[in-house]
């Protein structure tokens, strides 16, 4: 019988990876709480119509990448390919917007059927924020600063903020018309995918990875050319706000977000930590989405970062700066103590000892093998524990526990087996507690 394996692009998250994952989420949670964002959790499975209406039927996500199927009630259902549409749907369904602007954040898996590669899987994970009901240019600046500060605190180096304005829907339509007219005269020079997009979603051609198409686009009209005066002033206000916060940015008139609901400010934050510039966070304003999904016209802005890509960046940052914050974040948690024990009395006493020390906040690994002391000591060394706590039946009879230093210099010592407070002080002091 063949061995069962996970589906392609569906990756197991093992303990070592999850430890780093949770450290990132904990840091993000701190930043979100300080900025007044509350967590929301939405279902993995939604009606397909939510994403068709929200993301846009002409997008690659809806047209090529969604996991959709008919359920037993003959309803078309889709595993969520992104988080924003679900958050907006939840806010509308539960009347959150009637309570005023909503600052929400989420974390969890998303699903897209695309070619798996490093940092991108078919089940991937995002952390994102959505500020519903925020219409000022200052809210754009605040949301961008939140992403920038989070990434900096994680230790991501080589950060660069790319910024563009997509303007109003009227601005975008004017640009779409100008771009299509320009491209139609040069359609034979486009790659096949871009030729197909010309009639369905021409703005996505700006995201083409084809080198020849990118070279051609160097001479194409830009969104900036079609912005109305109000859109230009709003974009200038965003730039002034970022300058005031000391956040550097680069204007990128070719930057468009891949989903149809964006307007005005669009941005991406990249890092050169992997050698070439890699996008770790992207977002923008989507003032039309809530209206598209049945709510009253409401301004909104948000962003999302991909956890798989971010973890690769953090590992590179840790290697580049072994004493930096990224290295501390991705470092494995090691036990304060490893309890080596053998004998019937020792086995029972070791469980009581480990439980008591854990209750005092220490990380304690308990060997349950009953193997010879030599083998247990080898496992203790591999665990990375700072101390081995040694219990045999003789130690239990004398109500003593022997402490052997493993990762630091020092002499073996003994402590009263029943004085957990004194023992926890010794173990805690060795870890800087």
C-alpha pair distances (Å), 143 with each of 131, 288, 343? 8, 18, 59
Q: Do domains 15-168+228-328 and 337-427 have the same CATH topology?
A: no
Pick the CATH number of 15-168+228-328 from 1.50.10.100, 3.40.50.880, 3.10.20.580, 3.30.930.10: 3.30.930.10
Interatomic CA distance for residues 283 and 301, integer angstroms: 8
- Asked if residue 356 lies in contact with residue 389, where contact means CB atoms within 8 angstroms, the answer is no
Exposure on the CB side of residue 331, measured as CA atoms within 13 A = 14
Residue for token pair 């080589």 = 158
- Asked if residue 10 lies in contact with residue 121, where contact means CB atoms within 8 angstroms, the answer is yes
Pick the CATH number of 337-427 from 3.30.1540.10, 2.120.10.80, 3.40.50.800, 3.40.50.300: 3.40.50.800
Going from N- to C-terminal start, the domains of the chain cover 15-168+228-328, 337-427
Interatomic CA distance for residues 60 and 341, integer angstroms: 59
Tens digit of pLDDT at every position of the chain (433 positions): 788 999 999 999 998 889 899 999 999 999 999 999 999 999 999 999 998 887 765 566 676 789 999 999 999 999 999 999 999 999 999 999 999 999 999 999 999 998 888 878 999 999 999 999 999 999 999 999 999 999 999 999 899 999 999 998 888 888 888 888 888 888 888 888 888 888 777 877 887 778 888 888 888 888 888 899 999 999 999 999 999 999 999 999 888 765 566 789 999 999 998 877 788 999 999 998 999 899 999 999 999 999 999 999 999 999 888 888 998 888 888 899 999 999 999 999 999 999 999 999 999 999 999 899 999 999 999 999 999 999 999 999 999 999 999 987 678 889 999 999 999 988 886 544 3
pTM listed for this prediction: 0.87
Residue 377, Cα to own-chain centre: how many angstroms?
Answer: 38
């Amino acid at each position: 019988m063949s061995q069962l394996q996970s589906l392609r692009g569906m990756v197991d998250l093992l303990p070592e990876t999850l430890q780093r994952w949770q450290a990132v989420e904990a840091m993000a949670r701190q930043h979100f709480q300080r900025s007044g964002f509350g967590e929301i959790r939405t279902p993995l499975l939604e009606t397909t119509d939510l994403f068709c209406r929200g993301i846009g039927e002409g997008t690659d996500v809806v047209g090529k990448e969604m996991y959709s199927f008919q359920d037993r009630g003959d309803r078309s259902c889709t595993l969520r390919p992104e988080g924003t549409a679900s958050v907006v749907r939840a806010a509308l369904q539960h009347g959150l917007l009637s309570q005023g602007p909503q600052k929400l954040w989420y974390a969890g898996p998303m699903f897209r059927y695309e070619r798996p590669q490093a940092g991108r899987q078919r089940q991937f994970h995002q952390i994102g924020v959505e500020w519903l009901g925020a219409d000022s240019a200052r809210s754009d600046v605040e949301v961008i600063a939140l992403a920038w500060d989070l990434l900096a605190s994680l230790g991501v180096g080589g950060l660069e903020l790319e910024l563009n304005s997509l303007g109003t829907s009227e601005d975008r339509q004017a640009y779409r018309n100008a771009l299509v007219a320009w491209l139609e005269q040069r359609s034979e020079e486009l790659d096949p995918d871009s030729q197909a997009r010309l009639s369905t979603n021409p703005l996505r051609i700006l995201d083409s990875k084809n080198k020849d198409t990118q070279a051609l686009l160097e001479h194409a009209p830009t969104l900036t050319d079609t912005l109305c005066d109000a859109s230009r002033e709003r974009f200038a206000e965003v730039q002034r706000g970022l300058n005031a916060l000391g956040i550097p940015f680069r204007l990128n008139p070719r930057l468009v977000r891949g989903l149809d609901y964006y307007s005005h400010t669009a941005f991406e934050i990249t890092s050169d930590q992997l050698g070439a510039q890699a996008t770790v966070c992207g977002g923008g304003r989507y003032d039309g989405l809530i209206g598209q999904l049945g709510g009253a016209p409401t301004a909104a802005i948000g962003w999302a970062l991909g956890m798989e890509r971010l973890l690769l960046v953090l590992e590179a940052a840790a290697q580049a700066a072994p004493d930096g914050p990224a290295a501390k974040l991705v470092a494995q948690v090691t036990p304060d103590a490893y309890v080596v024990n053998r004998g019937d009395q020792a086995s029972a006493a070791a469980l009581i000892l480990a439980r008591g020390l854990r209750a005092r906040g220490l990380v304690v690994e308990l060997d349950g093998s009953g193997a010879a002391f030599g083998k247990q000591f080898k496992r203790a060394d591999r665990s990375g524990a700072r101390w081995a706590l040694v219990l045999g039946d003789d130690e239990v009879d004398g109500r003593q526990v022997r402490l052997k230093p493993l990762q630091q210099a020092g002499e073996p010592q003994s402590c009263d087996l029943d004085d957990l407070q004194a023992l926890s002080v010794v173990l805690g002091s060795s870890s800087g507690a």
